């Protein structure tokens, strides 16, 4: 896959690579035309860079064109919780887009590229392209079900289940957006990030990861997630696999 680098030119919507991702529902000609006018620019985000900060009022709305990012909240005393991961096609800053300050930060796990849209023209989108508006609501609802699962994972799964669950979640989400290969998803999460996602301490995350490795359930190294027996992993994690209709994207 030819990755765009920091210096590559802005991708016109007409050539949007997301149009050809198997897990995403392509836009119509008409919709692409509109999006081309709606799109204000593009933002390159370096791996590990923070794209948005908690508390700021963002004048923009974004969607992920390339790469993987995560949303996180930090408490005043420094405790951090990663709440969600953003894959290609996901919207960023919808919450903040409704005039209130952003209640979470956004950071890139991989090198990433996001489209920038104008917030003040957002209502217009609903007026002139109801289907796109519907899709926005659809995406928001989908994020919500994703959070539901994350929450039950943190609230009700054991440490091992949680880690296996997270590996599967990322793996499958990557597969739906064309990032996951046959058995591997190339993504570099630190153990601190894993810990902050599933609500464990770093030390215990480390020990649990080792146990999972020994048990041959998942192969999670510094730079990739490997799952050799998908079915076994799903059962181990008690992953709630669901038939997904292809996602829309903006």
Partner DNA sequence: CGAGCTTTTGACGGTAGTCAACTGCGGTGG
Partner DNA sequence: CCACCGCAGTTGACTACCGTCAAAAGCTCG
The residues binding DNA (CB under 7 A) are: 158-160, 190-192, 199-210, 222
Using rule CB under 8 A, residue 46 touches a copy of itself:
no
CB 128 within 8 Å of CB 90: no
Output the smallest distance, CB 115 to a copy of itself, in A. Answer: 18
| Strand runs labelled E in the chain | 39-45, 50-52, 60-66, 69-74, 80-86, 91-92, 105-108, 112-118, 184-185, 219-220, 225-226
The yes or no reply on residue 131 touching a copy of itself (CB under 8 A) is yes
> Cα separation of 107 and 242, whole Å?
28
User: Among 71, 113, 119, 173, which residue sits at the site for a copy of itself (rule: CB under 8 A)?
Assistant: 71
Identify what 242 binds: a copy of itself, DNA, none; CB under 5 to 8 Å per kind: a copy of itself
The site for a copy of itself, by CB under 8 A, has a size of 55
Binds 145: which of a copy of itself, DNA, none (CB < 5-8 Å by kind): a copy of itself
Smallest gap from residue 222 Cβ to DNA (A): 5
* CB neighbour list of residue 60: distance below 8 Å, 6 or more residues apart: 40, 93, 116, 117, 118, 119
Give the H/E segment covering residue 94. helix 94-97
Cα distance between residue 62 and residue 87, in whole Å: 12
Nearest to 112 by CA among 95, 132, 90: 90
CA 185 to chain centre: 14
What is the footprint of a copy of itself within residues 139-178 (CB under 8 A)? 140-145, 147-152, 154-157
**Who's near 199: CB < 8 A, 6+ residues apart?**
81, 154, 162
Scan residues 210-239 and list those touching a copy of itself (CB under 8 A).
Answer: 238
Site string for a copy of itself, 89-128 (x = CB under 8 A): -----xx-xxxxx-xx-----------------xx--xx-
In the list DNA, a copy of itself, none, the entry touching 9 (Cβ below 5 to 8 angstroms by class) is: none
Token pair 């933002």 is at which residue?
A: 43
Q: Can you give the binding site for a copy of itself, defined by CB under 8 A?
A: 71, 73, 75-77, 79-81, 83-84, 94-95, 97-101, 103-104, 122-123, 126-127, 130-131, 133-134, 136-138, 140-145, 147-152, 154-157, 196, 198-199, 238, 240, 242-245
């Amino acid at each position: 896959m030819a990755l765009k680098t920091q210096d590559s030119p802005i991708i016109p919507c007409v050539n949007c690579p997301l149009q050809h991702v198997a897990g995403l529902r392509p836009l119509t000609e008409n919709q692409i035309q509109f999006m081309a006018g709606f799109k204000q620019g593009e933002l390159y985000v370096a791996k590990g860079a923070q794209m948005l900060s908690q508390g700021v009022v963002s004048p923009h709305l974004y969607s992920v064109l390339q790469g993987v990012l995560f949303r996180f909240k930090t408490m005043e005393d420094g405790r951090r919780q990663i709440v969600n991961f953003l894959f290609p096609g996901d919207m960023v800053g919808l919450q903040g887009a409704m005039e209130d300050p952003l209640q979470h930060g956004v950071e890139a796990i991989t090198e990433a590229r996001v489209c920038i849209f104008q917030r003040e023209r957002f209502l217009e989108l609903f007026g002139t392209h109801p289907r796109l508006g519907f899709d926005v609501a659809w995406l928001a609802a989908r994020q919500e079900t994703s959070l539901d699962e994350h929450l039950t994972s943190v609230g009700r799964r054991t440490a091992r289940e949680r880690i296996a669950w997270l590996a599967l979640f990322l793996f499958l989400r990557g597969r739906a957006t064309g990032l996951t290969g046959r058995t591997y998803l190339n993504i570099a999460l630190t153990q601190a990030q894993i810990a902050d996602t599933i609500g464990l301490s770093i030390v215990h995350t480390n020990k649990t990861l080792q146990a999972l490795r020994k048990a041959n359930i998942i192969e999670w190294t510094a730079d990739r997630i490997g799952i050799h027996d998908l079915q076994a992993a799903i059962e181990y994690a008690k992953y709630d696999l669901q038939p997904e209709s292809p996602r829309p994207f903006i």
